[in-house]
Structure 1
Amino acid sequence: MLEVSAASIAEIAGSEKEFHQRCVDDAEGWLLRPLVDRCRSAGIVLGPTQCYAFTTLPLFGGEYKVDNIWICAWKEWLSFTATIYSQTKDLPDGSPVAIKFVD
């Protein structure tokens, strides 16, 4: 499972069938269904090419709460978080990180 907001990757199933069933059950809460429900209740409703994004990534201490959520085009969000992941994946936990935005 690639969790782009937390910059983590892990094997979570031994087969495609097991993965599908674990997603249906979602016992571990991977799909963040309660957070999505709270976003919808707060009026944060996605369009067909959008996803929920974090103002502060969980990787950097951001919380899984509605007030840390905004709507982003999913292609932009995946591109941004992939860049963050590629630049931080080998850092030890607790490493200081500085983000520099460039046009």
Structure 2
Amino acid sequence: MGANLFADIFLADANGAVHMLEVSAASITKIAASKEEFRHRCIDDEDGWLLRPLVDQCRSAGMNPTPSQCYAFTTLPLFGGEYKTDNIWMCSWSEWLSYTASIYAQTKHLPDGTLVSISVVD
């Protein structure tokens, strides 16, 4: 169905219910009973699914992604990263989705609170 500028993906199931896949938090949640309800609730975005205030802050800070880029987190919310501009950078959609998918695959069986160490290798 679509995505927000942080690459969180909105998906409709076979019954028409809409789910939000928060890639940086490694979670999926049913957020609306129908596409129509979802679209209506996105107008004001009271639920914050589109992260509009944070997008506005990023743009004010000079971060203006191209169509091939999304906002990404230096420290993922999954690991306690904050939804603040100093924890955000711009990344290509494909790299960000690949990275967050890899993190999910490596952490999905860990209990909450597990200490995680990440090594970045070129």
Q: In the alignment, which residue of structure 2 is the partner of 1:26? A: 45
Using the size of structure 1 for normalisation, the TM-score is 0.89
Alignment counterpart, residue 113 of structure 2, candidates 72, 91, 94: 94
Give a deviation string over 1:47-67, Cα, whole Å, max 9, x none.
110011111111111111111
Could you tell me which amino acid in structure 2 is paired with residue 72 of structure 1?
Answer: C
Please, which runs of 5 or more residues in structure 2 have no aligned partner? 1-19
Structure 1 segments (4+ residues) deviating >6 Å: none
The count of residues paired between Structure 1 and Structure 2 equals 103
Q: Does 2:75 match 1:56?
A: yes
RMSD of the TM alignment (CA)?
A: 1.5
More strand by share: 2
Identity within the alignment, % = 72
Please, which runs of 5 or more residues in structure 1 have no aligned partner? none
User: RCO greater where, 1 or 2, for CA within 8 Å and sep 6 or more?
Assistant: 1
More helix by share: 1
CA distance in 1, matches of 2:100, 2:41: 24
Using the size of structure 2 for normalisation, the TM-score is 0.76
